[in-house]
Amino acid sequence: MGIDLSLIWFLIIIFSIMMYIVMDGFDLGIGILYPLVKNKSDRDLMMNTVAPVWDGNETWLVLGGAGLFGAFPLAYAIILDALSIPLTIMLLGLIFRGVAFEFRFKAAPEHQHFWDKAFIGGSIVATFTQGVVVGAVIEGFPVENRIYTGGYFDWLAPFPLFCGFGLVVAYALLGCGWLVMKTEENLQKQMYRALRPLTLLMLAIIAIISIWTPLAHPAIAERWFSLPNLFFFMPVPLLIFWSSWQLMKANHRTSHYAPFLTALLMIFMGFSGLGISIWPNIIPPYISYEEAASPTQSLGFMLVGALFIIPIILTYTFWSYYVFRGKINHNQGYH
């Protein structure tokens, strides 16, 4: 029995997406939380917690997109055709946010408020459109003869838009946990206060999506609620409830690391549930990852490069976070 290269590449792309959510989620979450913090020095502090690492976080988005293009060109073509508008808006949001990030520290005081608003807007827009893309993929695409047959605005539907809102809350929760871990005093206390409502809202969003998807898609209901699948997948909702309970208790324990780690677990389990719902389709509801894969020779050639570059990315990511570990205070700054 040979190695299933298409499965390996499917797992690499899933890994890249999850790493992007982990790495850039709290980064975007800080921009989403910005309107809650009015003090200029606290806003500077929020920026400085991610200033050394934020641009490297998006490496995983590039890797996932390039991997999808090379390993699953059919899926890439359909997704790009169906979601060209939200993907373009997402990229513009990321670009505008990146420019605002750098210019904010260099702008004159009277102009800084403009870049603050640009940072907030870019973070929210990029996050919301990412959630719309996820929701649209879960909904599936009409495909005939390997060609997308839907419209350019099919993503403007209730479920993708709700997923966009859900991802904004998810990234805000990650950002809140990150700031609890990286800051002290007033800003940390403010983030502690935000943990409970964000956790409850995130739990409600996960519950609504968990009910919505099986009701709208009988195949997903069959996947989750048939035996023995029900027992195999039970750890997913149990871990979500456990992590949400730990998050709500973190405020009372004044734990510094637990909020971020449990928020990561909660978001990871939520996305795992979505992955279970559509497996093994890369383009729901009918096109599997095997049907969308490139020829074996191409997958093997690309895998050699991936096995070389992924350890390098992991190494410099670990090293950058290690070098800039610990708390950040108002007397420190990257810029």
pLDDT band at 160 (very low <50, low <70, confident <90, very high): very high
CA distance 182 to 174: 12
Task: Tell whether the model's pLDDT for residue 143 goes beyond 90.
Answer: no
CA distance 203 to 240: 8
- The pLDDT mean for the chain works out to 84
- Beta-bridge partner residues of 288: 281
φ, ψ for residue 78, nearest 5 deg: -70, -45
CA distance 237 to 148: 34
The pTM is what?
0.89
Q: What is the pLDDT of residue 252?
A: 60
Q: CA torsion sign, 84 to 90 to 96 to 99?
A: negative
Q: CB–CB of 60/19 below 8 Å?
A: yes
Q: By three-state DSSP, how is residue 328 classified?
A: coil
Q: What is the pLDDT of residue 306?
A: 87
What percentage of the chain reaches a pLDDT higher than 90?
A: 13
Task: Tell whether the model's pLDDT for residue 333 goes beyond 60.
Answer: no
Task: Tell whether the model's pLDDT for residue 88 goes beyond 90.
Answer: yes
Looking up tokens 């729901």, which residue turns up?
Answer: 284
For the chain, where are the alpha helices, taking DSSP H only? 5-33, 40-50, 54-57, 59-71, 73-82, 84-106, 112-139, 158-182, 185-216, 218-225, 229-233, 235-253, 258-278, 289-292, 296-323
What percentage of the chain reaches a pLDDT higher than 70?
A: 95
Mean pLDDT of 218-224: 81
Looking up tokens 């027992």, which residue turns up?
Answer: 231
Q: CB–CB of 57/101 below 8 Å?
A: no
- Beta-bridge partner residues of 147: 144
Task: Tell whether the model's pLDDT for residue 164 goes beyond 90.
Answer: yes
Task: Tell whether the model's pLDDT for residue 228 goes beyond 60.
Answer: yes
For residue range 91-118, what is the model confidence (pLDDT) as tens digits? 999 888 888 877 777 767 777 778 878 8
CA distance 330 to 44: 8
Looking up tokens 């389709």, which residue turns up?
Answer: 281
Q: Which residues contact 120 (CB under 8 A, 6 or more apart)?
A: 31, 32, 34, 35
